[in-house]
């Protein structure tokens, strides 16, 4: 090819529109971007929203850098080569307008103010927006954490639109620690909002379903053989699947877990999928705060996610802590999870499927 044989009619788009994945300003999977909190007129159907907050973390911090690491690790994803072989279509080329909405500004020095900021921001994003393809329906969001506590403000906003939502929670830990219990001598109300108690708070606030919530991937140590942690968890309407429930007996075990979850959650019920990367084995997700050996593989996580064809009204991927990551392993797995969640949202959230359901 010589210079003279190039098409003289080529447009600027032909010439400069497509570069390699590693070029350009970084947005999730090269989506169009806006500062959604500053541009309320911007219309889209599915938004990626970063929540760089990690001061409710109990062990290794750093998840405040999670959103930018997940975006960076998503650069090999694009509309052009976005076909999901397992799902049989390209979620980036369907009906949905996808948008990287930027980050919610959150203070790292006061959790009370931070929770107020996040609650206000999610209400702004969810309650005062209309989806591009579905007037009278809000866009749906996948939040990039941040530590796991960022789910609470997201659920608060969703509650006002959909009523209670069923939470499918991938995690090594329960995260339903009873936040009304005193934290010893130095107890204060403000220390009770943590990345291990926010699901308890969500239940106390009436945000989540009474009977349909599910944990997947549990394996962390608990308080004692009286199993109080599990009894309290059960009292809040959770079903539990441990990591061993998933890998022992292989695919039939995963199919049986999926069937139990599907039998539990009524058709059409609004579902939220929250994935803490520590559900995966530390070998596959070293970049996180509270590692627990003996976890799921990304392969199992993807398989399970593809089997969860629910009415997904929101989701998140949390606890990616890039300072502890190696070779972008954790952030890349997290960006794949986002891709799978978007795939489900696009497939099950078509404009012709009625979505609003107050319960
Ligand atoms: C949660 O803790 C509070 C304070 O200790 C206690 O009164 C309450 O019974 C606990 N809830 C459950 C369901 O165990």
The string of pLDDT tens digits covering residues 287-301 is: 999 999 999 999 999
Residue-wise pLDDT for 193-235, tens only, equals 999 999 999 999 999 999 999 999 999 999 888 888 999 999 9
Q: Considering only CA atoms, which residue is closest to atom 12 of ligand 1? A: 232
Contact 145, 53 (CB under 8 A): yes
On the question of pLDDT at 110 being above 80, the answer is: yes
pLDDT at 226: 86
Contact 63, 54 (CB under 8 A): yes
Q: Is residue 240 part of a domain?
A: yes
Name which residue leads in pLDDT, 34 or 190: 34
Task: State the Cα–Cα distance between residues 49 and 123, nearest whole angstrom.
Answer: 13
On the question of pLDDT at 326 being above 70, the answer is: yes
pLDDT band per the 50, 70, 90 thresholds, residue 307? very high
pLDDT at 358: 58
Q: How far is the CA of 199 from the centre of ligand 1 (A)?
A: 14
On the question of pLDDT at 237 being above 80, the answer is: yes
* H-run or E-run covering 257: helix 250-264
235 ligand 1 Cβ < 6 A? yes
* Residue 235 alpha carbon, nearest atom of ligand 1: 13
Q: Considering only CA atoms, which residue is closest to atom 4 of ligand 1? A: 181
pLDDT at 354: 65
Q: How far is the CA of 228 from the centre of ligand 1 (A)?
A: 10
187 is annotated as contributing to ligand binding: no
On the question of pLDDT at 356 being above 60, the answer is: no
- Dihedral over Cα of 332, 338, 341, 345: its sign: negative
User: What number is the average pLDDT over the span 117-126?
Assistant: 98
Mean pLDDT, the chain, rounded, equals: 95
180 ligand 1 Cβ < 6 A? yes
Q: Considering only CA atoms, which residue is closest to atom 5 of ligand 1? A: 181
103 is annotated as contributing to ligand binding: no
pLDDT at 139: 96
pLDDT band per the 50, 70, 90 thresholds, residue 3? low
Task: State the Cα–Cα distance between residues 47 and 131, nearest whole angstrom.
Answer: 10
Task: Give the total number of structural domains in the chain.
Answer: 1
Q: Is residue 10 part of a domain?
A: no
276 is annotated as contributing to ligand binding: yes
Q: Is residue 144 part of a domain?
A: yes
Q: Is residue 1 part of a domain?
A: no
Q: Is residue 354 part of a domain?
A: no
Q: How far is the CA of 182 from the centre of ligand 1 (A)?
A: 10
* Strand order across the 238-242 sheet: 32-33, 98-103, 46-51, 140-145, 311-318, 270-276, 166-170, 213-218, 238-242
On the question of pLDDT at 258 being above 90, the answer is: yes
Beta-carbon contacts of residue 20 (< 8 Å; ≥ 6 apart): none
pLDDT at 359: 59
278 is annotated as contributing to ligand binding: yes
Compute φ and ψ for 109, nearest 5 degrees.
Answer: -115, 0
Q: Considering only CA atoms, which residue is closest to atom 8 of ligand 1? A: 180
SS3 of residue 85 by DSSP: coil
pLDDT at 225: 85
Q: Is residue 236 part of a domain?
A: yes
* H-run or E-run covering 202: helix 198-204
233 ligand 1 Cβ < 6 A? no
Residue-wise pLDDT for 41-83, tens only, equals 999 999 999 999 999 999 999 999 999 999 999 999 999 999 9
Range of the domain at 318: 24-181+191-348
232 ligand 1 Cβ < 6 A? yes
54 is annotated as contributing to ligand binding: no
340 ligand 1 Cβ < 6 A? no
Peptide bond into 296 cis (omega under 30): no
Q: Is residue 186 part of a domain?
A: no
- Identify the CA nearest to 319 among candidates 67, 146, 108, 60: 146
pLDDT at 111: 97
236 ligand 1 Cβ < 6 A? no
Q: Is residue 151 part of a domain?
A: yes
Q: How far is the CA of 198 from the centre of ligand 1 (A)?
A: 15
Contact 148, 274 (CB under 8 A): yes
173 is annotated as contributing to ligand binding: yes
The domain that holds 148 is classified in CATH as 3.40.800.10
Crossing angle (nearest 10°) for helices 298-307 and 250-264:
40
pLDDT at 311: 94
Compute φ and ψ for 164, nearest 5 degrees.
Answer: -65, 140
On the question of pLDDT at 104 being above 80, the answer is: yes
Q: How far is the CA of 17 from the centre of ligand 1 (A)?
A: 58
Residue-wise pLDDT for 150-165, tens only, equals 999 999 999 999 999 9
Compute φ and ψ for 95, nearest 5 degrees.
Answer: -70, -25
């Amino acid at each position: 090819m010589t210079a003279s044989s190039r098409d003289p009619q080529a447009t600027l788009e032909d010439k400069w529109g497509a570069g390699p994945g590693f070029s350009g300003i970084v947005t999730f999977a090269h989506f169009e971007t806006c500062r959604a909190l500053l541009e309320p007129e911007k219309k889209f159907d599915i938004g990626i929203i970063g929540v760089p907050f990690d001061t409710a973390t109990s062990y290794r911090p750093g998840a405040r850098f999670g959103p930018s690491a997940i975006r960076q690790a998503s650069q090999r994803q694009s509309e052009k080569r976005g076909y999901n072989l397992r799902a049989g279509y390209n979620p980036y080329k369907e009906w949905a307008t996808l948008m990287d909405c930027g980050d919610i500004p959150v203070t790292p020095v006061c959790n009370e103010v931070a929770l107020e900021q996040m609650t206000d921001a999610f209400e702004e994003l969810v309650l005062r927006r209309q989806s591009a393809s579905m007037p009278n329906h809000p866009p749906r969001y996948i939040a990039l954490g941040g530590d796991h506590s960022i789910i609470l403000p997201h659920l608060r906003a969703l509650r006002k639109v959909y009523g209670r939502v069923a939470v499918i929670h991938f995690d090594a830990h329960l995260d339903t620690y009873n936040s009304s219990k005193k934290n010893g001598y130095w107890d204060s109300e403000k220390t009770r909002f943590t990345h291990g108690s926010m699901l308890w708070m969500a239940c106390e606030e009436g945000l989540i379903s009474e009977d349909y919530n599910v944990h997947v991937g549990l394996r962390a140590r608990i308080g004692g053989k009286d199993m109080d942690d599990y009894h309290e968890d059960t009292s809040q309407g959770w079903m539990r699947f441990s990591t061993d429930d998933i890998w022992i007996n292989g695919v039939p075990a995963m199919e049986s877990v999926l069937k139990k979850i599907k039998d539990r959650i009524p058709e059409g019920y609004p579902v939220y999928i929250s994935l803490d990367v520590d559900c995966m084995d530390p070998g596959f997700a070293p970049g996180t705060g509270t590692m627990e050996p003996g976890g799921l593989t990304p392969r199992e996580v993807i398989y399970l996610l593809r089997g969860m064809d629910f009415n997904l009204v929101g989701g998140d991927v949390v606890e990616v802590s890039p300072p502890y990551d190696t070779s972008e392993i954790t952030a890349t797995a997290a960006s794949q999870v986002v891709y799978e969640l978007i795939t489900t949202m696009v497939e099950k959230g078509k404009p012709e499927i009625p979505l609003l359901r107050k319960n």
